[in-house]
Structure 1
Amino acid sequence: MFVDSPLHIAASSGQSRFAMEMINLMPSFTKKLNKSGLSPMHLALLNGYFELVSLFVHADPGLVRVKGRGGLTPLHYATKHGNIHLMVYFLLACPESIEDVTVRGETVLHIAVKTNMLEALEVLIGWLQRVCHKDALDWKKFIPNWRDEQGNAALDIAVSNMQIQAIQLLAEIKAKNSKGEDASQILQGQTQLDRREVLKMLRRSTSVVKASSIQSTERLTAVLRSKTRFQERFAIYIARCRMRISDDVINALLVVAGLILAATYQTIYNPPGSVHQDNIGAIKTNVTNSSTGGGPLRDVEAGTVIMSGGDFTLFSVCNSLTLYLALNVISLLVPDDFFGRTLKLLLSWLALCYYVSILIISPSSSVAPVICTILAWLLFSIVYNILSVYSRKFCAFQKKKQMELQQLIRFYDAKLCPEELLSAEVQRRGAAAAPGEETCPEINPSA
């Protein structure tokens, strides 16, 4: 169990071809620990063989969560050494690795703060703010406030070491210390002089962090290290809530939203009090009212509502808001494929017909219903654009960045180890290998 396997030796010496074949033939070797408490992926990472690390991740993304000596995972090592590109690569391959803690109860946030790796801490905070995962809301709530074996949260360590930039970064995700206090509450417990000094340092640290970001940030980590805007945070929250909903709940919500949509749409064609049937009846009604001493005559047209302008204003606005909310719910729940987009197009035409109907049945003497309806349309159009556009943007963020990071992390020499030839060679030799047959080249550990 604690003896170096051939895969350990290959990982230590960076022999990608042989390691690839061993992964194919003996996948169980990838999770075994040697006498130093390290897995083959740990060895490849510590020796700087990043192309081999990429091979391990492609073979099994779950290897990112394999714990070595001290309970340290590859993500912990990457954070400890400040390798932000590998950090993002690991997080994209296995988002659940953010949950892992060491034997001392330390999260990646603890490690980043203790080693004063501000760029790594910035990437982790950006990940917690943006990742689209069904457990993302729980991660953002519990991981920043997780306590190690000594009862210290990441904010406790930053405050005790007076790491102002780390405090400022942790304040963005509302991290709290072991007493449940956030950064602002901690400052209130200091003397007035200390508070002023810390506030000045916080203001200065903001510009320092931004300056260092410009100098050292690559395009693949720029998004994670950038500040989030309100509409982005709102859209990410909606996307996360959507991912937590099961298929059965989605089906039930679609049924309920469809019923609400049908009811509100039908109501506009049969409003309370009905509509005037023709102009002649309206003229006779006006004459009768005039002869009996009623109010002034009111011009009416066939097809307009009988209720007063004020009542229709209230009715149309409430009905319109209900209908458009139902449209938004349906648009967010349907899949974003060809059929889903076709359905959204049909729903938009349905909404257009609805508002044309309101314009037709509105009393000619009042334009308030039309104005209120247009305002409601603009309001929910903005909300819809935020939810749909930004939600799709951040839900597709992980897949897009993963493809880019794979190209960044892979440092293959096309002449020595072309990927296509290597894959074909592994499949050929793996299929031809008989039990007990030696098919692997010898490894020179000193190579």
Structure 2
Amino acid sequence: MAAKVTTKNLYDAAKNGDVATLEDLMQQEPNLAGEVLYARSRNVLHIAAMHGQGGIVEVLSSHRQLARDVDSQNSTPLHIAAAQGSLHVALKLISMAPETCLWRDCHNMNPLHIAAVNGHINILQKLLETNSSPVVERVHRGETVLHLCIKYNRLVSLKFLVEKFRELVCAKDDDGETVLHLAVRFNQLQTIRYLVKQPYIEKKAHNSLGKTALQILNEIPHTPRYSDMEKLLKIRSTQKISNVFPNLTDTTMVVVVLIATMAFQAAVSPPGGVWQEHTASHKAGDAVMASTHPKLYKQFVRANTIAFGSAIITIFLITTRQPSGRIVFLLISLFTMWLSLASIALSYGASIMVISPNMETQSLVPVIIVVVVVSLGIIGFIYVYSIIREWFLRRDTALPRSHTSSDRVINNVGRVLRSSGPKT
């Protein structure tokens, strides 16, 4: 009984930060700190961390095993310090047992997860400086630390982590949902406003049910924040171009590099070749086309120069890796790409007129008309296709569950079975 009283006194000293009493008790009984009396199987270091008693942790710093002990919730003292927000205590515990940064409690959460969901940025930063690997660990159902920030409504932690680990923004849980899906479900307007401003966020990412964040918003009951969230999630009219036209990819780079190569080759080896000797009217190396078709040659040079220059500009814009969400860069890149395609087509038309018989008197105007009509036709086709596709997606989303294909099959099977059953 006396031993229990002594252990209780030790716990009271740790709770109240009474360093002198704790040192006296430990001098009387050196093994007393290892005894567990408190509820949930917490040792004296758990209690000190719970109450933010840094002085007690200093005294117990030589008892490293205490920092590795777990309570009935599988929590170490560092888990508790991360939850309570005591930076001094957390730093001492990290130095005593740095490996506990990776340990998980009964909820599958490590101390970094705990600090994030409680909004303790100072502890979060120190844990990352010690070991950044816990940030990529996932909890139940594949949720990342960013998913936890949404669930616990910790925008400050979310912002801190997004700045350091941008690749986690588009990570999906076991249900295929990103943090944007989750923010919509939890009606967090400020979080949505922050997320949609990030250039790397995928606003149209689909979960495992094929639904975007906007489609999820349309399914939940309207709230006072509904219209604001809908505006944030919808693509603005000036931004629809990024959905209508294909993204600038490596394939686009191959195309513009090929155009630049063709334009350069046409410049040094013009159609019809070059003169091989000096004469009164020309010199060696001059384009034959400049003498035989001077007006057409000027048009050829202009088209070829525009094709080469616009291709070089497109290559430069792509290599800068500007996000496709920045509409200015997207528009400039798309314009220069189309300009290079149209110009190389005109250059080709001029070349054909020079080397083909019976076309000396033909004009380049029909070629220009054909190029313009074809270009506008392709652009119009892509735009109409995107509108039709968007309409079908919205219609499918708006259908009630009873109208889905699987339910229609079930209903048809049910009708067949009923019709083949006994007649009453």
TM-score of Structure 1 vs Structure 2, range by shorter chain = 0.3 to 0.5
What TM-score comes out, normalization by structure 2 length?
0.44
With a CA cutoff of 8 Å and minimum separation of 6, indicate the structure with the bigger relative contact order: 1
Larger Rg belongs to: 2
